[in-house]
A and B are shown apart, each in its own frame.
Chain A
Amino acid sequence: MSGQKFPAAEFSGADLSCRRGGRTVFTGLSFRIVSGEVIVLRGPNGSGKTTLLRLMAGLARAVSGTLHWNDADIADDLCAHGARLGFAGHLDAVKSAQTVRENIAFWASLRGAAPTHVDQALNTFGIRHLSDIPARVLSAGQRHRVALARVAVSGAPLWLLDEPTNTLDDAALNALRDTLSAHLQRGGMIVMASHGDLFLPQARALDLRQTQPAAIAA
Chain B
Amino acid sequence: MSGFSTILRRELTLSLRSQGDVMTVIAFFAIAAALFAFGVGPELNVQSRIASGVVWTTALLAALLSLERLFALDYEDGTLDQLMLSGTEPIAMVLAKTLAHWLTTGLALLIAAPVVALALQLPTQAYGALMMSLALGTPTLSLLGAVGAALILGAKRGGVLLSLLLLPLYIPILIFGAAAVEGATLGLSTSAPYAVLGGLLVAALTLCPWAAASALRHALE
A-side residues, CB < 8 A to B, are 57-61, 78-80, 82-83, 85, 87, 89-95, 97-98, 102, 106-107, 109-112, 150
Contact = CB atoms under 8 A, between A and B. Distances in A.
State which size class the interface on B falls in.
20 to 34
A206 B53 CA distance: 64
Interface of B: 2-3, 6-7, 10, 13-14, 17-18, 76-79, 81-82, 84-90, 217, 220-221
Given A59-B220, A82-B84, A107-B82, 12 more contacts: A59-B221, A78-B217, A80-B87, A83-B86, A87-B81, A87-B82, A91-B76, A91-B77, A93-B79, A95-B77, A95-B79, A106-B10
A94 B3 CA distance: 18
Contacts of A93: 77-79, 81-82
Residue in B2, B17, B86 whose Cβ sees the most chain A Cβ within 10 Å? B86
Contacts of A59: 81, 84-85, 220-221
Chain B binding surface SS class: helix
Contacts of A89: 78, 81
Contact of B6 (A91, A97, A106, A150): A106
Contact of A110 (B3, B17, B77, B221): B3
A57 B85 contact: yes
A87 B81 CA distance: 9
Contacts of B84: 59, 78, 82
Nearest to B7: A110
A97 B17 contact: yes
Contacts of A83: 85-87
Nearest to B74: A93
